[in-house]
């Protein structure tokens, strides 16, 4: 289990991370979110022992981060950090050895992963000759070659087509099942929603929203109602109690309401419309919650 307790990090006078606390249990996928410059990379680097902490503690299974522990971590950085003049095999061996592995074991594991990602033919090719998506696969393999206890994935799906996103997702879910703790960071909220049970949102290094995703959604009272029907008077619908916004899409209308208490008001209005074939009340998306919470904190 990873425990981050009251961690603060200064760069000179600039406080990049401000009294941050969270825990990630074994087999849990945790979202660390925030806009650019919020302090995510700084936090990842402190967890990896690459940066000193100004105050607070970070422990894994009760032990402060040290050199032995970092061998058990995996880190997929947002920026590509591959040695592009090396071949795929040389690259992965290089990182595996840095993580304290034997070459034989690295090559065995590498062969399995190359096969899984259908890129066996690139094993002895220079990384710079690979497409962006295949480079991302190599970077991912590098991060998981040591079967990490804690895996940090910063924008893991960047540059990937939907089929490869699915492949990565399957591996991430498998690692979770095996008990790996995973920290996932992305600006794509739909990906975060798919994976993360718990999350923290940072603004200027400080947590502005944290907890279980289900609970966060429950507590956020605003809802979206998706409606399909004929001939609805949008101007009148906009005036129904609790309606914040009505969005007319190609195939349906989305009504944003301020609280679940207003569902019946919208329902009473819609039931008089012709041919109602859909009336679905949904929680606000994480993207909507993120925009509101982060926006509000920016204005403070």
Site for ligand ATP, rule CB under 6 A: 11, 14, 16, 34, 36-42, 78
Are residues 19 and 6 in contact, defined by beta-carbon separation less than 8 angstroms?
yes
Q: 17 in helix, strand or coil?
A: strand
The least CB distance from residue 98 to ligand ATP, in Å, is 22
The beta strand positions in 114-270, using DSSP E, are 150-154, 181-185, 198-203, 206-212, 223-230, 243-248, 253-257
Q: Residue 27 is encoded by which pair of tokens?
A: 């087999």
**CB contact at 8 A, 169 and 185:** no
Closest by Cα among 111, 297, 68 to 204: 297
Give yes or no for a contact between 113 and 123, defined as CB atoms under 8 angstroms apart: no
Name which of 81 and 115 has its Cβ closer to ligand ATP.
81
Tracing tokens 């849990």 back to the chain, one arrives at 28
Identity of the residue, 20 or 119, whose beta carbon is nearer to ligand ATP in the bound complex: 20
- Least distance to ligand ATP from the beta carbon of 40, Å? 3
Residue 45: alpha-carbon gap to chain centroid: 17
Pairing assessment for the beta strands 181-185 and 29-34 based on DSSP bridges: parallel
CB of 75 to ligand ATP, least distance (A): 13
- Which is closer to ligand ATP, CB of 42 or CB of 164? 42
- Least separation, in Å, of the C-beta of 132 and ligand ATP? 19
CB atoms < 10 A from the CB of 119, how many?
A: 19
Q: Report the residue number, 148 or 205, with the smaller CB distance to ligand ATP.
A: 205
Question: Cα separation of 144 and 150, whole Å?
Answer: 10
Reduce the DSSP state of residue 22 to 3 states and report it. Answer: strand
Which residue's CB is nearer to ligand ATP, number 142 or number 185? Answer: 185
Q: 119 or 201: whose CB is closer to ligand ATP?
A: 201
Minimum distance from residue 37 beta carbon to ligand ATP (Å): 4
Q: Identify which of 194, 180, 110 has the alpha carbon closest to the alpha carbon of residue 152.
A: 180
We find the least distance from the C-beta atom of residue 191 to ligand ATP, in angstroms, to be: 15
Smallest distance from ligand ATP to CB 44, Å: 8
Residue closer to ligand ATP by CB (options 143, 203) is 203
């Amino acid at each position: 289990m990873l425990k981050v307790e009251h961690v603060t990090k200064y760069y000179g006078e600039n406080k990049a991370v401000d009294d941050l606390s969270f825990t990630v249990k074994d087999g849990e996928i945790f979202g660390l979110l925030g806009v650019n410059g919020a302090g995510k990379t700084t936090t990842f680097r402190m967890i990896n022992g690459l940066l000193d902490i100004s105050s607070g503690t970070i422990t894994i299974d009760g032990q402060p981060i040290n050199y032995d522990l970092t061998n058990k971590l995996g880190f997929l950085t947002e920026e590509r950090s591959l040695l592009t003049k090396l071949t795929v095999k040389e690259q992965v061996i290089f990182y595996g050895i840095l993580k304290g592995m034997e070459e034989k074991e690295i090559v065995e594991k590498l062969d399995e992963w190359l096969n899984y990602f259908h890129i066996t033919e690139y094993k002895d090719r220079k990384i710079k000759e690979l497409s962006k998506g295949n480079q991302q696969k190599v970077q991912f393999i590098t991060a998981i070659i040591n079967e990490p206890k804690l895996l940090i994935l910063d924008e893991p799906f960047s540059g990937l087509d939907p089929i490869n996103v699915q492949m990565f997702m399957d591996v991430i879910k498998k690692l979770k099942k095996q008990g790996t703790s995973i920290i996932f960071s992305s600006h794509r909220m739909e990906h975060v929603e798919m994976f993360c049970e718990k999350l923290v949102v940072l603004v200027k290094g400080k947590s502005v929203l944290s907890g279980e995703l289900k609970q966060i959604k429950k507590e956020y009272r605003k809802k979206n109602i998706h409606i399909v029907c004929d001939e609805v008077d949008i101007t009148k619908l906009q005036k129904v109690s609790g309606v914040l916004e009505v969005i007319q899409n190609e195939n349906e209308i989305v009504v944003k309401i301020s609280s679940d208490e207003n569902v019946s008001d919208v329902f009473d209005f819609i039931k008089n419309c012709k041919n109602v074939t859909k009336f679905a009340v949904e929680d606000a998306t994480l993207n909507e919650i993120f925009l509101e919470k982060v926006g509000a904190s920016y204005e403070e």
